């Protein structure tokens, strides 16, 4: 079938996000119809029996592109030679919690993940951190991996927030989601995230020329920042298939050239762009060139409102970093 095989590990494989994600990877939605998938389901030892049920379902789907599927809790096996590590496994937040409240519980998991990736993954591995707080968990894993895995391989998920923002603006403007462009997330996947409407478009018009700015600065901003909590309050559980959709979109965006009139939101290791301290994992507008590699879009103008919002979310990332100093191995400058 496929002309190549991609090896993918999904951690937290028995959780809800993974349950929504795995069949879509198996069906070729992430890596395309030309690529076979060797899918590794990773979870803690007490969940491996349950993962076998998911394996049965994946087998029962008879996915033509699924060349191999396995489950385990030994990272030396599940992470061996992987091209992509989708790090979903972590404790989710409950009602009334902020994602940052999970930091001391989930941080240590990402030390283990980072070490395992450095030790066992393929040499071109690319990592997507989904478990919350995903930016700082990514920072922890990146740091634990050391120099074996370069900065440009590490990413965290803010595409879910971008999708949320674009849906809200499209609905307000009476447009289709596909017409909303360059509306990207800056900073943390948290209640301080900033969906930058000042540089976004609906069709050929700037968002700010289409939609009331007061709404954008107030209700819209709060709705995007609080959407994860709103889903938890309504569903009694955190978002699952929309998060999986975000992961599919995130990986696809990183593998194909970005449309000339658009950008993608990806949290990446800062190189100091826009005065985001080097080493922090922050969401930026990203472009992928024809060679399949990403860059932070430079020269984006941030007005006083936008700049204040970016500074606030970056300050929160610095605070999170300071809370996990003990989990961060040397590399990241304070």
C-alpha separations of 243 from 17, 37, 84, 240, 320 in Å: 6, 21, 17, 5, 22
At its nearest, how many Å lie between ligand LMR and the CB of residue 215? 22
At its nearest, how many Å lie between ligand LMR and the CB of residue 98? 8
Structural contact between residues 180 and 202, judged by C-beta atoms closer than 8 angstroms: yes
> Binding to ligand LMR (CB under 6 A): which residues in 25-54?
none
Q: Count of alpha carbons within 13 Å of 6, Cβ hemisphere only?
A: 24
Nearer to ligand LMR, 237 or 315 (CB): 237
Give the separation between CA 331 and CA 120, rounded to whole angstroms: 20
Site string for ligand LMR, 265-304 (x = CB under 6 A): ----------------------------------------
At its nearest, how many Å lie between ligand LMR and the CB of residue 21? 13
Site string for ligand LMR, 222-241 (x = CB under 6 A): ------x--x------xx--
At its nearest, how many Å lie between ligand LMR and the CB of residue 192? 13
- Residue 271 CA to its chain's centroid (Å): 18
Which tokens sit at 47? 């969940």
At its nearest, how many Å lie between ligand LMR and the CB of residue 102? 8
Between β-strands 126-129 and 84-87, what pairing exists: parallel, antiparallel or unpaired?
parallel
Structural contact between residues 247 and 156, judged by C-beta atoms closer than 8 angstroms: no
> Binding to ligand LMR (CB under 6 A): which residues in 155-214?
160
At its nearest, how many Å lie between ligand LMR and the CB of residue 332? 23
Nearer to ligand LMR, 85 or 240 (CB): 240
Q: How many residues bind ligand LMR (CB under 6 A)?
A: 9
Sign of CA dihedral 229, 234, 239, 241: negative
Give the separation between CA 271 and CA 297, rounded to whole angstroms: 12
Among 7, 75, 99, 142, binds ligand LMR (CB under 6 A): 99
Task: Tell me the residue nearest to ligand LMR as measured from the CB.
Answer: 228
Site string for ligand LMR, 112-141 (x = CB under 6 A): --------------------x---------
Report if residue 79 touches ligand LMR, rule: CB under 6 A: no
Which tokens sit at 154? 């590490």
Which residues, other chains included, contact 280 with Cβ-Cβ below 8 Å and sequence gap of 6+?
A: 135, 139, 269, 270, 314, 317, 318, 321, 332
Nearer to ligand LMR, 93 or 321 (CB): 93
Per DSSP, the three-state class of 268 is strand
Beta-bridge partner residues of 156: 129, 267
Give the separation between CA 132 and CA 245, rounded to whole angstroms: 17
Among 93, 142, 153, 287, binds ligand LMR (CB under 6 A): 93
Active site residue 189: yes
Q: Which of 79, 120, 189, 250 is catalytic?
A: 189
Q: Which residues bind ligand LMR (CB under 6 A)?
A: 93, 99, 132, 160, 228, 231, 238-239, 243
List the catalytic residues: 189
């Amino acid at each position: 079938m496929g002309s190549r095989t991609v090896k993918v590990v999904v951690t937290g494989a028995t959780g809800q996000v993974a349950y929504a994600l795995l069949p879509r990877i198996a069906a070729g939605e992430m890596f395309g119809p030309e690529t076979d998938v060797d899918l590794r389901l990773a979870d803690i030892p007490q969940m491996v029996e349950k993962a076998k049920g998911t394996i049965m379902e994946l087998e029962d789907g008879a996915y033509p592109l699924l060349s191999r599927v396995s489950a385990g809790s030994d990272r030396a096996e599940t992470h061996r030679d992987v091209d992509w590590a989708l790090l979903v496994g972590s404790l989710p937040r409950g009602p009334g919690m902020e994602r940052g409240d999970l930091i001391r519980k989930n941080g240590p998991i990402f030390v283990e993940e980072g070490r395992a990736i450095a030790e066992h993954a393929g040499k071109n591995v690319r990592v997507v951190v989904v478990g919350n707080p995903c930016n700082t968990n990514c920072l922890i894993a990146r740091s634990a991996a050391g120099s074996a895995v370069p900065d440009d391989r590490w990413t965290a998920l803010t595409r879910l927030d971008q999708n949320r923002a674009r849906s809200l603006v499209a609905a307000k403007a009476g447009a289709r989601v596909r017409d909303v462009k360059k509306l990207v997330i800056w900073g943390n996947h948290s209640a301080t995230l900033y969906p930058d409407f000042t540089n976004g478009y609906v069709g050929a018009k700037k968002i700010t020329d289409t939609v009331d700015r007061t709404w954008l600065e107030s209700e819209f901003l709060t709705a995007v920042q609080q959407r994860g909590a709103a889903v938890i309050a309504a569903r009694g559980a955190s978002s699952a298939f929309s998060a999986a959709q975000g992961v599919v979109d995130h990986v696809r965006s990183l593998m194909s050239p970005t449309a000339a009139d658009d950008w993608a939101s990806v949290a990446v290791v800062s190189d100091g762009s826009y005065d985001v301290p080097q080493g922090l994992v922050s969401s930026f507008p990203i472009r992928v060139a024809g060679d399949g590699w990403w860059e932070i879009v430079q020269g984006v103008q941030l007005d006083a409102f936008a700049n204040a919002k970016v500074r606030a979310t970056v300050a929160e990332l610095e605070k999170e970093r300071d809370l996990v100093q003990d989990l961060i191995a040397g590399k990241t400058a304070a």
